[in-house]
Amino acid sequence: MLDFLRYDFGYSWPLTRGHLIVFLVFAAAAALCSWRRWPRWTTTITSVIAVWALAGSLVMHYVIRVNSPLTMPTERFLESNTGRVVDLGAGSGRATVMVLQARPNVTVTSLDRYTGYYGIDDNTPDRLRLNARIAGVENRVRVQVGDMRRLPFEDGEFEAGLSVAAMDHLQRDDIPMAIAETARVLKPGGEFLFVTINSDFWVHLMMPLAIHGHGGYWGWRANEALWRQRFKDGGFDVVETGTRPAELYLLAKKRVLAAAR
């Protein structure tokens, strides 16, 4: 429950403390309005904003758990509990730690460009290694600097892969390239877990005025269909889809081509 006090995934203060700051400011404003007997509407508005901000903070830390390792969206991923896994766009390691904790017999290669800004301050390989060490799994992780559109790996090097809130940040024309590269480095039948933001109730509660992309304008079913088609075109068969708070996930397997006759 208090994992967010142990790890240092480096997400910027607007995500980790922004709601709480808004809550404190508007709760104080609501108390002042009530004490000074200002017009009732001022107390009502400041109170509503304070309640929303408190709810957003609770969702961020106890539903989304922004500064804690992720949890497996499906137990079907890596059921064999063996093999080499590549985490594409690993960032500070929330997904890497998830896999290593849930599957104690696998190894993970965590790949990221470690350039640009995706909500993490000082996004470096050392931060990922620190979080792996906190989780007690640092002996099974290798950090690789690289681009998922041009993976620095051999064909068929991995039994499985995943990308959590990373591949979906690419430019639209670059996504097929990343999926094709993913298929290349997986063995035939290799598994791939893809997770993207789902603009659901929880996301809109936390950030009601934000522009919610990732297909959210048309609902999660349209988003699911979009990604299902992308993976199908890239040589995968989608075997499971589902949603969790703020997440849409697809589990796919690299298609095994029939032998030529």
**Rounded to an integer, what distance in angstroms lies between the CA atom of residue 189 and that of residue 195?**
19
- Within 10 Å of residue 135's Cβ, how many Cβ atoms? 19
Helix-helix angle 175-185:220-233, to 10 degrees: 50
Over the stretch 5-51, which tens digit does the pLDDT of each residue have? Answer: 689 999 999 889 999 999 999 999 999 999 999 999 999 999 999 99
Q: Using pLDDT thresholds of 50, 70 and 90, give the confidence band for residue 204.
A: confident
Name the residue among 194, 193, 187 with its Cα closest to residue 254.
Answer: 187
Over the stretch 112-150, which tens digit does the pLDDT of each residue have? Answer: 999 878 788 889 999 999 999 999 999 999 999 999 999
Average pLDDT over residues 181-206: 93
Average pLDDT over residues 163-182: 94
Check pLDDT > 80 for residue 169: yes
| Phi, psi values for residue 222, rounded to 5° | -65, -40
Over the stretch 49-74, which tens digit does the pLDDT of each residue have? Answer: 999 999 999 999 999 999 999 999 99
What integer pLDDT is reported at residue 110 of this predicted model? Answer: 98
Which residues lie below 8 Å from residue 34, measured CB to CB, with a gap of 6+?
Answer: 43
170 or 213, which is more confident? 170
Check pLDDT > 70 for residue 3: no
What integer pLDDT is reported at residue 217 of this predicted model? Answer: 42
Q: Using pLDDT thresholds of 50, 70 and 90, give the confidence band for residue 210.
A: low
Over the stretch 215-233, which tens digit does the pLDDT of each residue have? Answer: 444 455 668 899 999 999 9
What integer pLDDT is reported at residue 135 of this predicted model? Answer: 96
Q: Could you write out the three-class secondary structure of the chain?
A: CCHHHCCCCCECHHHHCHHHHHHHHHHHHHHHHHHCCCCHHHHHHHHHHHHHHHHHHHHHHHHCCCCCCCCCCCCCCCCCCCCEEEEECCCCCHHHHHHHHHCCCCEEEEEECCCCCCCECCCCHHHHHHHHHHHCCHHHEEEEECECCECCCCCCCEEEEEEECCHHHCCHHHHHHHHHHHHHHEEEEEEEEEEEECCCHHHHHHCCCCCCCCCHHHCHHHHHHHHHHHHHHCCEEEEEEEEECCEEEEEEEECCCCCCC
**Rounded to an integer, what distance in angstroms lies between the CA atom of residue 68 and that of residue 80?**
25
Check pLDDT > 90 for residue 81: yes
What integer pLDDT is reported at residue 161 of this predicted model? Answer: 98
Average pLDDT over residues 75-88: 97
Check pLDDT > 60 for residue 211: no
**Rounded to an integer, what distance in angstroms lies between the CA atom of residue 30 and that of residue 33?**
5
Q: Exposed e or buried b for every residue in 148-163, given b needs 16+ CB within 10 A?
A: bbebebeeebbbbbbb
| Phi, psi values for residue 176, rounded to 5° | -60, -35
Check pLDDT > 80 for residue 1: no
Token pair for 91: 């960032």
What integer pLDDT is reported at residue 4 of this predicted model? Answer: 56
What integer pLDDT is reported at residue 215 of this predicted model? Answer: 44
